[in-house]
Amino acid sequence: MSQQVHVLNKRNTGKRSALQLPEYLQVTRGITAYIPILFTIIAMFIGTSWQIFLTTSDPARYQCYTLAFWLGSDATKMLPADQCQFLRSQLPAPQPPFHILPFEYPPLTLLPFTLAMVTPLPYYQLAFAFLMSLVVLLLYWLLLRFGPRGSWIAFVSYVLLGAIATMQVRFDVLPSLLTFLCILAAERKRWTLAYLALAFGTLLKIYPILLLPALFIAEQRSCGHLPVPREAVTLRTLWQTLTTCKQWRWKNCLLFLIALLGITGIFAALNFEGAVIDQLQYFLQRPMQVESSGSTLLWLAHFFGFPISTNYDFGSINLLSPLGKGISNLSTLALLAGCAYALWLQWRAKMNLTQTAIALLLVFIATGKVFSPQYLIWVLPLIAYAYALDTFWLFHWNVISVLTTYIYIFLYSQTADPHQYVQPLTIPGFFEVVGLRNAFVVFVTLAFLFNWWQVRSPVTQEDRLEAFA
């Protein structure tokens, strides 16, 4: 059997194309199947080694929040003087235990932050990286167990190329895991588990709440309460659908809200402003971060006479422009329109739940005011699960991954001090590479929403089997 990788089907045949794999990559059982992910985890430790003990890294901030919550703000003095300066500078006075909550993250993130405190303080970031590696291993096992053939290869590829420097130093893999568990449970009609997984994902990172209406539609359709419209969709059709709402199953949706509001309420009782107000303000008041698609538009506009500048705020480097407010509003409209269109496609049975989840996350990433490198982690398990060896996704998502890693490792490393606001404007090629990456993301998002070249169609089971023949 030839070990050369080649395309099985041409796109003009009407079938999705998959990659043929060499025989030694067919093993999906036993210890041998875990060699790729173990290699990936080692590579991740190497990829994050340059930042894993920095006092300005994200895990360093997690450690500050953890100590301040459990022991009070004075406990941060046990760490290097500059590590928690960002926290102390925003406190009017020393705070008691159980009061300080993370400014930029939901309060429940203190749970995974605390788990890494089992080690001595100097090794906190190493322990955190180890915990995130275990989550990556769990995702890999789920793809081996429940995913189509080749999904684990796509997952390893996406992690190595797009998340090697971020997976271990961010907690985004946790909501990514919970979102994936939600999809797996929903496909097996374990609706209560699906809603609970989504609720806890939302409690760790707000973005999974985007999937709530998609999950609700999938549940109603599974129960026969939301039939596919058989005629052209009109206001009359929509009204007829809404009039059946009394027949819909609301129990699991209410359970989601109870879990979300109940756990948030516990933290709000300790610090209402930190648990609720700060979270909303942080989301609504953030300017355009330099990697967002909106910032690419602002950078292009500066060639037509609109000045741009940078500042460091909300934990990121941002781009300022007279057009900033208008572009921000345009991005919000694009987000709402994209999400509405994705849900409309699901209602019309043009997309299943997994595809709708991918569409919603792609729209959020492409139109959001922030595009941090770790955002790729949110969607990569779903893409690997749904499209595995599909050549369109392997090529385009790996290009996006490589460009994102290049931006993070090789361009951001030149901004040694993030408070040197002018640096991104002086780094050769920074905005050009960011713009190219964003163009790929927008293209993939539009191609998926409008099904250009049938990119939404998954590789058929016959193609997957043929790839291993």
Q: For residue range 22-42, what is the model confidence (pLDDT) as tens digits? A: 555 555 667 888 999 999 999
Give me the mean pLDDT over the 308-318 stretch.
Answer: 80
Percent of the chain's residues with pLDDT above 90: 61
- The confidence score (pLDDT) of residue 16 equals 55
DSSP state at residue 458: P
What is the rounded average pLDDT for all residues in the chain? 86
Q: Could you tell me the pLDDT band of residue 90, with boundaries at 50, 70 and 90?
A: confident
Q: Which residues pair with 289 in a beta bridge?
A: 318
* Cβ atoms of residues 275 and 349 within 8 Å: no
Buried b (16+ CB within 10 A) or exposed e, 333-355: ebbeebbeebbebbbeeebbbbb
pLDDT of 420 > 60? The answer is no
CA 396, CA 202: separation in Å to the nearest integer?
A: 28
pLDDT tens figures, 259-285: 999 999 999 999 888 888 877 777 777
Q: Is residue 347's pLDDT more than 50?
A: yes
- Give residue 352's pLDDT: 95
Give the type of residue at 260: L
> How far is the C-alpha of 347 from the C-alpha of 337, rounded, in Å?
15
Residues 281-292 have pLDDT tens digits of: 777 778 888 999
**Helix (H) or strand (E) segment spanning residue 309:** strand 309-313
Whether this prediction's pTM lies above 0.85 is answered by: yes
Torsion of CA 140, 141, 145, 151, to 10 degrees: 10
Q: Which tens digit of pLDDT belongs to each residue from 189-228?
A: 999 999 999 999 999 999 999 999 999 999 999 887 777 7
- State the pLDDT at residue 414: 63
- Reported in sequence order, the residue ranges of 201-253 that DSSP labels E, i.e. its strands, are none
Query: Is the pLDDT at 421 greater than 50, yes or no?
Result: no
Q: What is the pLDDT of residue 312?
A: 79
pLDDT, tens digit, 9 for 90 and up, residues 352-411: 999 999 999 999 999 999 999 999 999 999 999 999 889 999 999 999 999 999 998 877
With bands split at pLDDT 50, 70 and 90, how would you rate the model's confidence at 248?
confident
Q: What is the DSSP letter of 33?
A: G
- Virtual CA dihedral for 469, 147, 408, 308, nearest 10 degrees? 110
At 312, which helix (H) or strand (E)? strand 309-313
